[in-house]
Amino acid sequence: MSEKRIGMIEKSNNKRQRVTQDRPEFSINDHHDVLVEILRRLDGPSLCSAACVCRLWSAVARNDSIWEELCFQQVSPRPSLSLRSVVSALGGYRCLYFLCIRPVLARLPKLLWTRDQLQLSLSLYCVHYYERLYVGAWIGDAPPSSLMFLRKPVNVV
Partner 1 sequence: MKRDLHQYQGRLPNHGTSSSSSLPVSKDKMMMVKEEEDGGNMDELLAVLGYKVRSSEMAEVALKLEQLETMMGNVQEDGLSQLATDTVHYNPSELYSWLDNMLTELNPPPGAAASNVCLDPILTSPEIVNNNNNSFLTAAGGDSSRIIPASDYDLKVIPGNAIYQQRSQFAIDSSSSSSNNNQNKRLKSCSSPDSMVTSTSTATQIGGVIGTTVMTTTTTTKAAPATAESTRSVILVDSQDNGVRLVHALMACAEAVQQNNLTIAEALVKQIGCLAVSQAGAMRKVATYFAEALARRIYRLSPPQNQIDHSLSDTLQMHFYETCPYLKFAHFTANQAILEAFQGKKRVHVIDFSMNQGLQWPALMQALALREGGPPIFRLTGIGPPAPDNSDQLHEVGCKLAQLAEAIHVEFEYRGFVANSLADLDASMLELRPSEIESVAVNSVFELHKLLGRPGGIEKVLGVVKQIKPVIFTVVEQESNHNGPVFLDRFTESLHYYSTLFDSLEGVPSSQDKVMSEVYLGKQICNLVACEGPDRVERHETLSQWGSRFGSSGFVPAHLGSNAFKQASMLLSVFNSGQGYRVEENNGCLMLGWHTRPLITTSAWKLSAAH
Summarize as ranges the residues that interact with partner 1 (CB under 8 A).
79-80, 82-83, 85-86, 89-90, 103-104, 107-108, 116-117, 119-120, 122-124, 126-127, 129-131, 133-134, 138-140, 144-146, 148-150, 152-157
3-state secondary structure string across 31-96 = CHHHHHHHHHCCCHHHHHHHHCCCHHHHHHHCCHHHHHHHHCCCCCCCCCHHHHHHHHHHCCHHHH
Shortest distance in whole angstroms from residue 75 CB to partner 1: 13
Shortest distance in whole angstroms from residue 78 CB to partner 1: 13
Which CB, 19 or 147, lies closer to partner 1? 147
Which CB, 29 or 119, lies closer to partner 1? 119
Which CB, 26 or 149, lies closer to partner 1? 149
DSSP label at residue 98: I
Rounded (10°) CA dihedral 20, 26, 27, 32: 180
